[in-house]
Amino acid sequence: MSSTSSATLRANQIWMDGQFMKWDEGQMHVMTHALHYGLGVFEGIRAYRTHDGRIAVFRLREHIQRLVDSAHICMLKLPYTTDELVEACVELLRKQKDIFANGAYLRPIAFMGDGAMGLGAVNPTRVAITAWDWGAYLGEKGIREGIRGKVSSFTRMHVNVNMVRGKISGQYVNSILAKREAVLAGYDEAILLDISGFVAEASGENIFMVNKKGVIKTPPLSSPILDGITRDTVLKLLRDSGRYVEEVTFTRDALYIGNEIFFTGTAAEITPVREVDNRMVGDGKPGPVTQFVQETYFRTVRGQEPRYAEWLTYI
């Protein structure tokens, strides 16, 4: 399923403000503060069917901790603990076992609810968790063959303009504009630069590249990028395999002459990039490093790599 497709399979229940309810009952008032001003935080989490037929959520606790941290950054007071939110995610999937026999995409979200208006308002925080079936974000063909990327005219915001350690709802307008620009121009995804002109990240993914000397590079966390959990996973997989990865800044033309490029993200998983700005990457096919990362990542999330078993929460 592409990123623009509507969900064909969704939970029949959601968790909202501490209780389960039917999907269609998960509603809020039009005067909800976050709808007007964007003050909310969220996560995207995947659950996979493992090799032995069970369902496991990948790095659930790390995702929920980032949600809690994002809320703290935004001064949103969460009425639930990390443990309570982890258990709510697990219980939601338990209740939907028959629907999500092959896995699911979880979306926890916390946001300022209705009450007072204005930028200085402080209203109670609402929290919800939903789940649906979301296939390859950039398409199954993109996973296999790679996608076309475009360096965006939109710049990733400065670290003092947005809170880069937080996954904050309103900040994604920047990504939406970049993504729409790329798609309307005939590309699959946007690549954003920082204010100094260095590569930051894609609209919803972190980025890795392999240069002609075989050096693997990814932008550092001092750049205006999300501290991606999939990014962290890939760094661990690469370094555990004996491969050296540099967390350094690099320019867009480094992408043009790179041998391999791939995106990482919970939704996008590991998606190769075969072309940037009409310039073919390497030989236009996923390279050996990309293939290694893809294969090891998918083995890991499906419970086939025992050394990373602690990353899986079984339902």
> Which residue do the tokens 């509507």 mark?
6
Among the listed residues 297, 306, 307, 303, the one whose alpha carbon sits nearest the alpha carbon of residue 315: 303
Torsion of CA 204, 20, 83, 164, to 10 degrees: 20
Neighbour count for residue 31 (Cβ, 10 Å): 13
Cα–Cα distance, 270 to 233 (Å, whole number): 11
Give residue for tokens 């403000």.
17
C-beta separation of 227 from 201 below 8 A: no
**CB environment 224-241: b (16+ within 10 A), e (fewer):** bbbebbbbebbbebbeee
| Sign for the pseudo-dihedral over CA of 147, 148, 151, 155 | negative
CA–CA distance, 128 with 22 (Å, rounded to integer): 12
The CA–CA distances, whole Å, from 145 to 63, 151, 238 equal: 29, 20, 21
Active site members: 167
Give the three-state DSSP class for 34. helix
Nearest-5° angle of CA 147, CA 149, CA 154? 150
Other C-beta atoms closer than 10 Å to the C-beta of 242 total 6
